[in-house]
Amino acid sequence: MRRLLLALPFALLPLAVAHAAVEHDHDHEHEHGSLGAHEHGVGRLNASLDGQTLELELDSPAMNLVGFEHPATSDADKAKVAAVRAKLEKPATLVNLADAKCTLEQQELESPLFGDEPDHEDHDEEADGDEHHHEHSEIHARYQFRCVAPSALTHLDLASLFKVFPATRKILVQMIGPNGQQGAELTPEAPALKF
């Protein structure tokens, strides 16, 4: 199943290229040099439904979920990080899967804010030493569900995720389901995608 999720970005590469062409003038793209630009307010979700197995992989700037990207040093910041992690550890409250009778089998949460090693592909420091300007912490969440009634899963509904994390204004979704592959931009006003 993991092979299917890993193949998803390549299967939908034409959509990503078209989206990148539209967003080409975004400030962060020249800094990152890739299609996966770090953009506050925007997250990415890969979804795959294969038989009874549903896999979700969410990547988001920490700013969207926590409200900051710097290391949590104060008690208030540490409490925010802990609260966000607790919410991410309950994905059924973020994505509506009730009708499909899905149970969480595996999950992985990764972020420098959670104490994981930061990606070392970060930006070079400016000559003036202002490294705070260049911090871009990401939060990665991967979930695998076993769904007893996968045919009841007709929509991927992220309305709860947008409510829980209101700084998230758009989620770019790439999905493989029973009806093939598709991509969409979900927003709080249009939070669902049909499988």
pLDDT at 135: 66
Amino acid identity of 46?
Answer: N
The pLDDT score that the predictor gives to residue 31 is 37
pLDDT for 172 beyond 60: yes
Contact yes or no for 46/65 (Cβ under 8 A): no
> Averaged over 122-148, what is the pLDDT?
68
Contacts of 46 (CB under 8 A, 6+ apart): 5, 8, 9, 55, 56, 57, 173, 174, 175
More confident residue, 120 or 94: 94
* Structural contact between residues 131 and 184, judged by C-beta atoms closer than 8 angstroms: no
pLDDT band at 18 (very low <50, low <70, confident <90, very high): very low
Residue 138 predicted with pLDDT over 60: yes
Q: How many helices (H) and strands (E) does the chain have?
A: 6, 8
